[in-house]
């Protein structure tokens, strides 16, 4: 059917008709906020590179969990920023470390709200790499037991989900078997399966003080030129026991999200990372882009590409404006 019988504008005439015909919708429950926890109490520290995002101490985080729950968000993913960093990232798997205490406080404040623990070493190591670092290289197999310990500690503290973001080979299997050995059979793994070595993580590294002191992450995170490899990474992680998978970053990877959606059945997450957030915020501040429309469009595009759930620093902003 062609013009004049076919007139696509018929379905665009009024807001109500557009809503009726809309294929993709976004609900606060589709969104996961990302939170940064620091030592101390009463701390609400702005992050210069991420306007509107704060580093919070454990006490403040408990209230934040309640707020996020009341807003109807799907959950939060938690990043720890410890005072003490060392070569092996021991604060990352210390049962009394800042992350474990934060998880306990959040679950106490909002028991029904989903807390996802990011599992990686880069926020906890003094060299800033995601694993054991020797002679300019991150050692894969030596890193696995440390990640597994971090996952067990987070799950024992009450994390509903553990989410490895380190990109070591074999880490999902290592974490699954360590969880099972600790009888944490029911703790699901959300794997950052397709995580690119992206320049869009820049603001996060300032927020988490986790930039590598030397070198970069291209020896373990994915090359931006590769799409098919992302599908292999996801397939491998599912075989190793991942219950859910994530693609990261989001807007630069809509092709990967769309292909992963078509190929895999597990819940698919995408991470709208710090650089995507800050880029939009900077343009909004200058009046170059119009909020909140551009925010909603960015989220909807990621959803339309096929992501079931989106980790986003805009999660609360979207939920506050949501009117059903």
Q: How far, in Å, CA of 139 to CA of 158, rounded?
A: 29
How long a stretch of residues is the chain?
Answer: 324
Secondary structure of residue 255 in the 3-state scheme: helix
The distance of closest approach from Cβ of residue 123 to ligand PBG in the complex, given in angstroms and rounded to an integer, is 7
Identified binder of ligand PBG from the candidate list 165, 191, 281, 312, rule CB under 6 A? 165
- Toward ligand PBG, which CB reaches closer, 187 or 272? 272
201 binds ligand PBG (CB under 6 A): yes
- Toward ligand PBG, which CB reaches closer, 165 or 259? 165
DSSP 302-324: HHHHT-SEEEETTHHHHHHH---
Q: Give the HSE-up count for residue 78: Cα atoms under 13 Å, Cβ half-sphere.
A: 39
Q: What share of the chain is helix, strand, coil (3-state, %, to 5)?
A: 45, 20, 40
Q: Which stretch binds ligand PBG (CB under 6 A): 177-185, 197-205, 254-262, 280-288?
A: 197-205
**How far from 189 is each of 93, 260, 301, CA to CA, in Å?**
17, 17, 26
Question: Between residue 205 and residue 234, which ones bind ligand PBG under the rule CB under 6 A?
Answer: 205, 217
Question: Between residue 245 and residue 304, which ones bind ligand PBG under the rule CB under 6 A?
Answer: 273-274
The distance of closest approach from Cβ of residue 206 to ligand PBG in the complex, given in angstroms and rounded to an integer, is 10
- Toward ligand PBG, which CB reaches closer, 133 or 201? 201
**Which one of the listed residues 66, 85, 107, 248 is annotated catalytic?**
248
Binding-site size for ligand PBG (CB under 6 A) equals 12
DSSP 195-248: EB--GGGHHHHHHTT---SSS-STTTSBPTT-SHHHHHHHHHHHHHT-SEEEEE
The structure tokens 């299997």 sit at 173
- Toward ligand PBG, which CB reaches closer, 60 or 278? 278
76 binds ligand PBG (CB under 6 A): no
Secondary structure of residue 125 in the 3-state scheme: strand
The distance of closest approach from Cβ of residue 207 to ligand PBG in the complex, given in angstroms and rounded to an integer, is 8
Q: How far, in Å, CA of 223 to CA of 172, rounded?
A: 20
Structure tokens at 205: 């590294």
**Which one of the listed residues 107, 195, 213, 316 is annotated catalytic?**
195
The distance of closest approach from Cβ of residue 247 to ligand PBG in the complex, given in angstroms and rounded to an integer, is 13
Q: Does the active-site annotation cover 195? A: yes
Answer yes or no: are the C-beta atoms of 184 and 148 closer than 8 Å.
no
The distance of closest approach from Cβ of residue 315 to ligand PBG in the complex, given in angstroms and rounded to an integer, is 12
Question: Between residue 86 and residue 145, which ones bind ligand PBG under the rule CB under 6 A?
Answer: 118, 120, 122, 130
The distance of closest approach from Cβ of residue 129 to ligand PBG in the complex, given in angstroms and rounded to an integer, is 9
Q: Does the active-site annotation cover 66? A: no
Answer yes or no: are the C-beta atoms of 55 and 37 closer than 8 Å.
yes
- Toward ligand PBG, which CB reaches closer, 50 or 106? 50
- Toward ligand PBG, which CB reaches closer, 195 or 303? 195
**Which residues participate in catalysis according to the annotation?**
195, 248
Where do contacts with ligand PBG occur on this chain (CB under 6 A)? 118, 120, 122, 130, 165-166, 201, 204-205, 217, 273-274
């Amino acid at each position: 059917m062609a013009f004049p019988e076919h007139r696509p504008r018929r379905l665009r005439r009024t807001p109500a008709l557009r809503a009726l015909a809309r294929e993709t919708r976004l609900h606060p429950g589709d969104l996961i906020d990302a939170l940064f926890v620091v030592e101390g109490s009463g701390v609400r520290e702005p992050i210069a590179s991420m306007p509107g995002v704060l580093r919070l101490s454990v006490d403040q985080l408990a209230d934040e969990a309640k707020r996020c729950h009341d807003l109807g968000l799907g959950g939060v993913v938690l990043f720890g920023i410890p005072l003490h960093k060392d070569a092996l990232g021991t604060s990352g798997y210390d049962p009394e470390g800042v992350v474990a205490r934060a998880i306990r406080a959040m679950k106490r404040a909002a028991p029904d709200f989903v807390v996802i623990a990011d599992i990686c070493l880069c926020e906890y190591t003094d060299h800033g790499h995601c694993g054991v670092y020797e002679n300019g290289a991150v050692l894969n197999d030596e890193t696995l037991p440390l990640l597994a310990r971090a996952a067990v500690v987070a799950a024992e503290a009450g994390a509903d989900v553990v989410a490895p973001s380190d990109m070591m080979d074999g880490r999902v299997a290592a974490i699954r078997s360590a969880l099972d050995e600790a009888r944490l059979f029911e703790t699901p793994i959300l794997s950052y399966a397709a995580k690119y070595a992206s320049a869009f993580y820049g603001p996060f590294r300032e927020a988490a003080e986790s930039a590598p002191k030397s070198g970069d992450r291209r020896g373990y995170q994915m090359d931006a030129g590769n799409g098919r490899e992302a599908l292999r990474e996801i397939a491998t992680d599912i075989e190793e026991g991942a219950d859910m998978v994530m693609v990261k970053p989001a807007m630069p990877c809509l092709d990967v999200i769309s292909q992963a959606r078509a190929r895999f059945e597990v819940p698919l997450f995408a991470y709208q990372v710090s650089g995507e957030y800050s880029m939009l915020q900077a343009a909004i501040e200058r009046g170059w882009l119009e909020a909140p429309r551009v925010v909603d469009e960015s989220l909807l595009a990621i959803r339309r590409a096929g992501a079931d759930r989106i980790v986003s620093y805009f999660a609360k902003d979207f939920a506050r404006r949501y009117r059903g």
